[in-house]
Amino acid sequence: MNKQFSLLRPFGLYFDANSGGGSGGTNDPSPDGDNKPKGKTFTQEELDALFTQRATQAKTSALSELFKEIGVENADTLKAIITKAKEADDAQKTELQKAQDKANAADKALADQKTAHETALAELEKRIQDSEIKITAGSEVTDKDGKVIRPRARADALDVILLSVERKDIAKKDNAYTGIEEALDALFKAKPFLFEDEQAIPIKGSPTDNKLRKPNKPKSNLEDDEKPFFNSL
């Protein structure tokens, strides 16, 4: 007696494992002795193809339900929506980057402007301080008895004084400078020739060369005039 698989019985299909792939109806006595007509039998290859077809149909049905739920017609429509959304996202990122670049440029311009302002202010402050040093150096300083303790600076040495004076203790307070007198006193002790009253002749060279010298004094003929007269005898 041939055995039959009834897995496909709901579909009215039968698979005869002993038929060797043959088709056609045969009668198999039932346990109660009744002869019932048998459905069509299939080979393994035909069953595989049938399962594949059923699976494809189920997949297509599931995708159709999904597209219906999200409001699109098919996969191409969904792909177009995703592509458009990605392009919009990229465009938004580009605009954000442009805005960030503009903000960075504005910050840099503001920083450059601040640096330029601070540089100009520092230069102006130095010019004012230089002017105060020149004015102070151009006046002699005397004690209570009227004795000059620091002569005024020579006019041709003022630029050298500006380069030589120590400024670390010079400060501005209440729109007035402090420490200039002390700095000039220290410079006078170190380089008194910058403060001599008599005209000095600058040695040729760099303007920052602090070498200044006095004019050569003519040799006196006093010794010749005072020679004893008997030496001429």
- Alpha-carbon distances of 154 from 43, 135, 186, rounded to whole Å: 125, 12, 16
Whether 151 contacts 197, CB under 8 Å: yes
Given this model, what pLDDT does residue 32 score?
Answer: 52
Given this model, what pLDDT does residue 7 score?
Answer: 47
Grade residue 132 by pLDDT with cuts at 50, 70 and 90.
very high
Residue given tokens 């595989």 in the structure block = 48
Average pLDDT, the chain: 75
Domain residue ranges of the chain, discontinuous segments joined by +? 4-20+37-70, 129-213
Q: pTM of the full predicted structure?
A: 0.44
Q: Is pLDDT of 34 > 50?
A: yes
Q: Which residue has the higher pLDDT, 11 or 54?
A: 54
* Least confident interval from 51-55, 117-121, 186-190: 51-55
Q: Which residue has the higher pLDDT, 9 or 45?
A: 45
Farthest-apart Cα atoms in the chain, separation = 189
Q: Is pLDDT of 153 > 50?
A: yes
Grade residue 59 by pLDDT with cuts at 50, 70 and 90.
confident
Grade residue 38 by pLDDT with cuts at 50, 70 and 90.
low
Given this model, what pLDDT does residue 36 score?
Answer: 53
Q: Please give the DSSP secondary-structure letter assigned to residue 198.
A: S
CA dist 184 and 165 (Å) reads 7
